[in-house]
Structure 1
Amino acid sequence: MYDVVVVGGGPSGATAAEDLARAGKRVALLDRDGRIKPCGGAIPPRLIADFAIPDDLLVARITTARMISPTGRRVDIPIENGFVGMVDRADFDEFLRVRAGEAGAERKTGTFQRIERDGGGTHVVYRDKASGESTRLTTRLVIGADGARSNVARGEVPGGDTIPYVIAYHEIIAAPEAQGAYDPDRCDVIYDGRISPDFYGWVFPHGKQASVGMGTGIDGIDLKQATADLRAASGLAGCETIRREGAPIPLKPLKRWDNGRDVVLAGDAAGVVAPSSGEGIYYAMAGGRVAATAAIACLASGRAADLRLARRLFMREHKTVFHVLASMQNAYYRSDNRRERFVSLCHDIDVQKLTFEAYMNKALVRARPMAHIRIGLKNIAHLTGLVRPDYT
């Protein structure tokens, strides 16, 4: 009998499993072998500090972000007093799983099939990779951390089958030295309807490699062709392609994360990817942590209602940031004209400072109220057309 079975071994599930094991719970971590999520791989300083990420996992340290508009306008935003770390998800995720195992979590490799219940308890049924046989893990609670189209969420949590998402696709390539449009110390974010009509494209350095990709929620878009066009525009068409990956990225947190009985969701399964930016690693790990906290509370009290703590704790800290980012996406991603105005707005020094302070620390900065007022007025001016995009 396990206290908790965690389904999904990405950053969210591995974090939940480690926290539970360190709290003295008997926990199993079930993960499919070999799956790597398409991801730019950016992690902010707060993640590095909160989750004790060692320096040797950072394959690059980014000091500048470049925003590129539909007309090719470039706005470079320096990252003052720090850097954004870049990780390769293949190595990063496995490090987190190994660390969970070292803390005491029992690792299982296989594919989740379903949850069954009988007089003997709750059972997670999965197909074991080694034997090919269906195997049951009996448990008191389940944490579903199995991605944006979570089978756990779909079968157990109201609304878990209707979460909106975009499809992300990227190619990991062998990166060149600095040349032309490519800089190994800079992340490029491309807001161009020819690459993505409703999201964005990216070129993110990973040391000797780079992630080049895009996302869209519109059916019929040729993701591979859009990525090929982006590589060509960035001078990366001739670079060796190491691997190609695609997966859904959720756009909105679910209104409910638990089934009121024995299941709670975490990470992409709960929809906790930041709107506008698509940033997910930090929020996935934060989601895994609050899911573990809720599970520990439920195990101690015997009250299934304590599973609601996961969503409540997460939203208490991050709801405002998610609301602001969703408003930005709804306002600016709907057309190239709006995207042009968004990149122009990013040229503003107030926007740059507050945006990166919020990104690095994962909270809206309240220390400069006049800057917030100025940004609000500038935002209205750009959206209404009172300010024309600055192309200088």
Structure 2
Amino acid sequence: MESYDVVVVGGGPAGATAATDLAHRGYAVLLLDRGGRIKPCGGAIPPKAIEEFRIPDELLVARARSARMVSPSGREVDMPIDGGFVGMVDREQFDEYLRERAELAGAHRRTGRFLRVSRDGAGSAVIHYRVGEQGERCVRARAIIGADGALSEVGRQCVPGADEVPCVFAYHEIVRAPQAGFDGSRCDVYYQGRLSPDFYGWVFPHGDTVSVGVGSARKGFSIRGGVSALRDSAGLGSAGTVRREGAPIPMRPLRRWDNGRDVVLAGDAAGVVAPASGEGIYYALSGGRLAAEAVDTYLVTGDARALGLARKRFMKAHGRVFMVLGIMQRFWYASDRRRERFVSICRDPDVQHLTWQAYMHKRLVRARPLAHMRIFFKDLAHLCGIVSP
């Protein structure tokens, strides 16, 4: 039986990053990805991700320099990015680049569907997987990183509580960008209950194509119908459809990411998608790196408690942002009346500045206490109905 130091299950941003980092450290790594799957995603990545994870310019299919918020009543609020941009990627190209980078770093890459984990006579992990119709295969590993997406099969089998995380189901359609009348440097976000009763709809530029999608956790709501209505609202109803994709997206980080023995989760499998915004690429990249660091410490020391460092370090860096965004989503997305006020608040220059600073640099901004105070009182006035939307 083949043996590896680490088997990484899942070749998205989290898994590919973990495999790359561990291969660079000299470990024997197998990157096992089932292939043929493209996650539905708006494809936005902040400058922090481009810099920290060395994303080449040629992967950016567009640069968004503003966002437009659309309220339930149709009111539009533009939020320009002062002196910066948000990079846009196509997940089909982006994820494949990351997998190829892992292979160039020395990771062994294999296409196969993960089945289960068993134990050999010595108690070592044995990973069972299937390659097409060729039957079941096995490899042995000292450690496993489960980066196989929301509702992770690795997590379900190995990590207590991993099957309890609530999810939003996201669906989008990649369509041809109109040759005239379409702003390819602006992301549009629709906060309208008719498109999504508990999340939002998006129209994001991808160069020659556009991602049009919605997300919702509401049972019985037709997200395909929401996307169809959104395409009509955005003037893309007759645009040619390139592909359609749907998948669950976790709504909050898991309480535990490891099994206390030799398995740790990363990316969507660990639940690291930001509430309110649904942003996941940067946090998947970051979570994959932290999982690799935790596994490295475990393999060096033999102390399985080191696997818990992945979650501990991630929550220290991003937990507060996730908490604030979670509160925002639960409150502001609860009704169209509140969405109307939320979009109105986005007109405020202080809100726009602090929002973009927090997004671009992936941290809460504390440098302008007076601005925070002004925002607090403006929010309070909206909540109390003192000002009109």
TM-score after normalising by structure 2? 0.98
Q: How far apart, CA to CA, are the structure 2 residues paired with 1:250 and 1:381? A: 33
Tell me if 1:107 matches 2:99: no
Q: CA deviation at 1:108?
A: 1.0
Check whether the contact 1:10–1:93 (CA below 8 A) recurs between aligned residues: yes
Match of 1:127 in 2: 130
Q: How far apart, CA to CA, are the structure 1 residues paired with 2:180 and 2:167? A: 34
Match of 1:249 in 2: 249
Match of 1:264 in 2: 264
Match of 1:74 in 2: 76
Equivalences for residues 195-210 of structure 1 within 5 A? 195-210=195-210
Q: Over residues 357-382 of structure 1, what are the superposed CA-to-partner deviations in whole Å (9 max), with x where a residue is unaligned?
A: 00000011111111111112222222
Q: CA deviation at 1:383?
A: 2.2
Q: How far apart, CA to CA, are the structure 2 residues paired with 1:386 and 1:155? A: 52
Q: Over residues 214-251 of structure 1, what are the superposed CA-to-partner deviations in whole Å (9 max), with x where a residue is unaligned?
A: 00000111111111110001110111000000001111
Equivalences for residues 141-152 of structure 1 within 5 A? 141-152=143-154
> Aligned to 1:167, what secondary structure does the other structure show?
strand
Of 159, 177, 180, 2:179 maps to 177
> Aligned to 1:386, what secondary structure does the other structure show?
coil
Q: How far apart, CA to CA, are the structure 2 residues paired with 1:360 and 1:371? A: 18
Q: Over residues 312-359 of structure 1, what are the superposed CA-to-partner deviations in whole Å (9 max), with x where a residue is unaligned?
A: 110111011111111110110000001001000111111100000000
Q: CA deviation at 1:193?
A: 0.2
Q: CA deviation at 1:133?
A: 1.3
Tell me if 1:276 matches 2:279: no
Percent same amino acid at aligned positions? 61
Q: Over residues 116-154 of structure 1, what are the superposed CA-to-partner deviations in whole Å (9 max), with x where a residue is unaligned?
A: 11224211111013x531111100000000001101111
Of 97, 118, 121, 1:116 maps to 118
Tell me if 1:42 matches 2:35: no
Match of 2:337 in 1: 337
Amino acid at match of 1:357: Q
Unaligned runs of 5+ in 2: none
Check whether the contact 1:9–1:146 (CA below 8 A) recurs between aligned residues: yes
Q: How far apart, CA to CA, are the structure 2 residues paired with 1:49 and 1:87? A: 15
Q: Over residues 34-82 of structure 1, what are the superposed CA-to-partner deviations in whole Å (9 max), with x where a residue is unaligned?
A: 1000000001000000000000000000101000000001000001111
Q: How far apart, CA to CA, are the structure 1 residues paired with 2:264 and 2:379? A: 38
Match of 1:377 in 2: 377
Q: How far apart, CA to CA, are the structure 1 residues paired with 2:136 and 2:341? A: 54
Amino acid at match of 1:115: V
Q: Over residues 233-275 of structure 1, what are the superposed CA-to-partner deviations in whole Å (9 max), with x where a residue is unaligned?
A: 1110111000000001111000110000110000000000000
Paired residues, number: 386
Q: Over residues 144-201 of structure 1, what are the superposed CA-to-partner deviations in whole Å (9 max), with x where a residue is unaligned?
A: 000011011111111100101100000000111341xx41110000000000000000
Match of 2:235 in 1: 235
Q: CA deviation at 1:386?
A: 2.3
Match of 1:193 in 2: 193
Q: How far apart, CA to CA, are the structure 2 residues paired with 1:379 and 1:253? A: 27
Q: How far apart, CA to CA, are the structure 1 residues paired with 2:379 and 2:290? A: 34
Check whether the contact 1:177–1:183 (CA below 8 A) recurs between aligned residues: no
Q: How far apart, CA to CA, are the structure 2 residues paired with 1:386 and 1:298? A: 56
Q: How far apart, CA to CA, are the structure 2 residues paired with 1:386 and 1:21? A: 58
Amino acid at match of 1:225: G
Match of 2:98 in 1: 96
Check whether the contact 1:62–1:84 (CA below 8 A) recurs between aligned residues: yes
TM-score after normalising by structure 1? 0.97
Q: CA deviation at 1:305?
A: 0.4
Match of 2:54 in 1: 52
Q: How far apart, CA to CA, are the structure 1 residues paired with 2:18 and 2:353? A: 33
Check whether the contact 1:198–1:218 (CA below 8 A) recurs between aligned residues: yes
Q: How far apart, CA to CA, are the structure 1 residues paired with 2:55 and 2:201? A: 27
Equivalences for residues 298-377 of structure 1 within 5 A? 298-377=298-377
Check whether the contact 1:126–1:135 (CA below 8 A) recurs between aligned residues: yes
> Aligned to 2:170, what secondary structure does the other structure show?
strand
Amino acid at match of 2:192: D
Check whether the contact 1:332–1:339 (CA below 8 A) recurs between aligned residues: yes
Match of 2:87 in 1: 85
Q: How far apart, CA to CA, are the structure 2 residues paired with 1:380 and 1:8? A: 44
